[in-house]
Amino acid sequence: MKILATIPARYASTRFPGKPLIDIAGKSMIQRVYEQVKKATGVQTTVVATDDQRIADHIEAFGGQVVMTSESHTSGTDRCAEAASHFEDTDIVINVQGDEPFIQPEQIELLISCFQKESVNIATLVKKIDTFEDLFNHNIPKVTVTKDMRALYFSRNTIPYLRDAAQKSWLEKYRYFKHIGIYAFRAETLKQLTKLPVSPLEKAESLEQLRWLEHGYQIQTAETQFQSHGIDVPEDVDRVIELFKSSL
């Protein structure tokens, strides 16, 4: 399989303008994401997809590959799809979040392994929830899965609801999963997804992947042991640096 990793990056951000170019211990965040993705042995090509010339110039300055994309995209998925259209012989397209400077190459390789099954067209990662803080945090999407780890539903609420158990015992009685927001698609499937209209479930939960489920697509999941550490607001920078200072 020929695999393309795309990293969508926007300069404009309501909560953190210019986020891709912030300094993380001597390197920009987007450079750290790019270098981590390049370590994944299964990826042949890594590219940043952006609509901002400042980001594009920075990527080229450190020797990275960049594709300029439309300013009109409303999601990273659409931006990745446009970038992927420049690489017509690609089999699998990976959408890597541009705000996770310490994503692990093993996570990308785990995601790629899902496509050993020919029936898999979309894949993503999940992680076991270990704390009550995460279990009841509406900013952390949860996912329920089938016995063979296909996604049944994603929600900002805690799912499933354990009717006959006190909430303090839920983690003991059920294996809950949080969603780790990295995706991979067969190239043709990605093209199809960009043509789907926004769905009622997607609007209700503000979760793009529900559009795909609601239109009948299956999403394979794989369980990672690595925690996701995204940078959403300026206050996150010091926290993430502290977590990974030993590797800097």
Over residues 175-212, the pLDDT tens digits come to 999 999 999 999 999 999 999 999 999 999 999 999 99
Tokens of 165: 């158990």
Pairing of strands 177-186, 92-95: antiparallel
Highest mean pLDDT out of 26-30, 145-149, 236-240: 145-149
Strands, DSSP E only, in the chain?
3-9, 23-24, 27-28, 45-50, 66-68, 92-95, 122-128, 142-145, 151-155, 177-186, 220-223
| Distance of alpha carbon 248 from alpha carbon 230, whole angstroms | 17
Contact (Cβ atoms closer than 8 angstroms) between residue 182 and residue 124:
yes
Per-residue CA distances from 44 to 37, 73, 112, 201 (Å):
10, 25, 12, 35
Q: What are 21-27's contacts with CB under 8 Å, separation 24+?
A: 21/54, 21/55, 21/58, 22/231, 22/237, 24/101, 24/237, 24/240, 24/241, 25/241, 25/245, 25/248, 26/248
The label of the residue with tokens 């794989």 reads 222
Q: Say which range, 10-24, 112-126, 147-161, has the weakest mean pLDDT.
A: 10-24
pLDDT for the residue numbered 79: 93
Residues 6+ positions from 148 with CB-CB distance below 8 Å? none
Per-residue CA distances from 157 to 58, 146, 229 (Å):
39, 18, 20
User: What is the three-class DSSP state of 112?
Assistant: helix
| Distance of alpha carbon 205 from alpha carbon 212, whole angstroms | 13
Domain boundaries, the chain: 3-230
Report percent pLDDT > 90 for the chain: 81
* Amino acid (one-letter) located at 127: K
Over residues 218-243, the pLDDT tens digits come to 999 999 999 888 887 888 888 887 87
CA dihedral 191, 66, 33, 237 (to 10 degrees): -110
Q: Over 80: is that where the pLDDT of 143 sits?
A: yes
pLDDT for the residue numbered 247: 73
Dihedral (CA of 97, 103, 109, 115) sign = negative
* Amino acid (one-letter) located at 128: K
| Distance of alpha carbon 18 from alpha carbon 16, whole angstroms | 6
pLDDT for the residue numbered 150: 98
**CATH of the domain spanning 3-230:** 3.90.550.10
Point out which residues pair with 93 in neighbouring strands: 4, 185
